[in-house]
Structure 1
Amino acid sequence: MALPVLLVLVGGPLLLTVVALAAQSFTRGRVDTRHEWWWVRVTWGAALVVGVVAAWLVDAGLDLGRGTMLVPAVLGLFVVAGVGLAETVVRPQRPTGARTASLAPRRVADYLPRTLTTAVAVIAVVHLATLGLTTATASPDDMGRTGRQIAAHCGDTSSGAGPYPGSFYSVPLTLLLLVIGLATVAALVAVARRPRGFAPDDVGDDVLRRRSSTRILAAAGAAVAASHLGIAFFAGTALLRMDCQRPWMDPVGWALVATVPVALVLLGWFLGRVVAPGALRASSPALPAGSR
């Protein structure tokens, strides 16, 4: 158990940082945007490979389905890390001559697309609310392990179903989601505060900031949406399988199941925004077409 945790929280991000720094050494001082874009995608690929290996180790190292429940969040963590490093470390600052500095403060919120931000916020709130509900309503299983099933008593009869994402699953998942959130905020702040010179002019710099912020935020949204898919499915189906139910279980079970296809659609959209952040305002004709 210690090895997967160490790999995910320490070894994996350090390895990705080394890859990003190596990629930066190949792009430093170059204005070839095709070459830069290739190394950005190499960093993404490295993040995906490291994430798959880390997720496999977590799945194999944690028993009773806890590792499987963490797989989407582990993959999401490395996607966020890979995209964040690609947008803040790999992309080189352009060599420029004398420049004028702007006194206008740059805020993270200025570079976040409204629709994407709203979608990520909504799925995050729904996911955290789901984890709060399942944590509060879970019961020990037949072996006395806390937070592994849902149970109810109806007179002389009782019913239980699992796996149910109570504290046995939700606590490590929430900690991992917290790490993803912190990584996302750190990457967004780095993008907003990085010096000008990544594009031929100031307008182009702002376009690149919006594209970088879009990719980072979309990667975080994909991590949360993928995690919610598994949590909502197992929690909802466990509630609906109960022979003896409390009044709230059936409607909540159907509501959770209903969020599964919504999260799946959002996951596809988020991943699409990572690859292609879309047309953004304030584009500059001086910005090279390959700078994406």
Structure 2
Amino acid sequence: MIHREVADGLERLWNVRVNCIWEADESSRHGEVYIFDHVFKQECTNSDVYGSVVKPLVDSFMEGFNATIFAYGQTSSGKTHTILGNKTDPGLFQLVSNQLFQHVADQVDKRYLIRCSYIEIYNEKINDLLDKSNQGLTIREDIKGNVLLDAREAVVDNVDKVMENMMQGNKIRRVAATRMNERSSRSHTIFRIILESKDANQKDGPVHISYLNLMDLAGSERVSLTKAAGERLKEGANINKSLSVLGNVIRQLSEGKEFISYRDSKLTRLLSQALGGNAKSLIIGNVTLAAEEETRSTPEFAQSTKTVKNKRK
């Protein structure tokens, strides 16, 4: 639990066993059980998550697949820590960069060019986090239907330069204090790594290009918990709307629908090729262990919790 949850004396809401989680229920032994591909207990580190589920995806990226990694969850549940980590527990971003440049160093028969871009979606407006002057970007499509965005792309040739671009972008990313989190992300961010490779022995040989998207999604919010008002309320409404559209798109894809509503939000439109194209995707759902006392004591809590759990599933 984070410091605020401990200070408020909040109780642990979720129980974990193997790859199952269930919500603690005061009236019975346990609530409804949800099964996932992997469940990592609070004792696990980002490196544990990386080795189990992220590394195979990055391997595919370096073989030519497009890949997307989402950090998803309620505000204050640890999404940004999953992506960025800290000095003692490096985040997925650092671990991906380490693996990428180790791979490049090992492949002596290939030549590589690596670029990166960093954008945020704030109140349905796309801003370039690597260029302050490049704000309000417009999404375009080429004749093949590929989504294009005129964001700055920086050439990088080592891990330190990748980290410098990430830190530069984070300085202007929208964050704010809320009742739930002292530094709540108020925007979705997409850090994209573009990998170009070709045979070192062929001067005019084919160039292979693949994309890796690292996504730190802004946390879903309930006004009753955040007590948001004014600008924070507007931000929360846009965050929840775009996350709802993302959920709808993923459901439509999983059900094999002919029409996919990518255009209902800028987030899903930007990710249309990553979600439904020649790509591999990983969603890391961050779940806070704590429950707010005031919501647990209200008659509406049981029904609202059931709705939220269904959405999480």
- More strand per residue: 2
Structure-2-length-normalised TM-score: 0.33
With CA pairs under 8 Å and 6+ residues apart, which has the higher RCO, 1 or 2?
2
Structure-1-length-normalised TM-score: 0.35
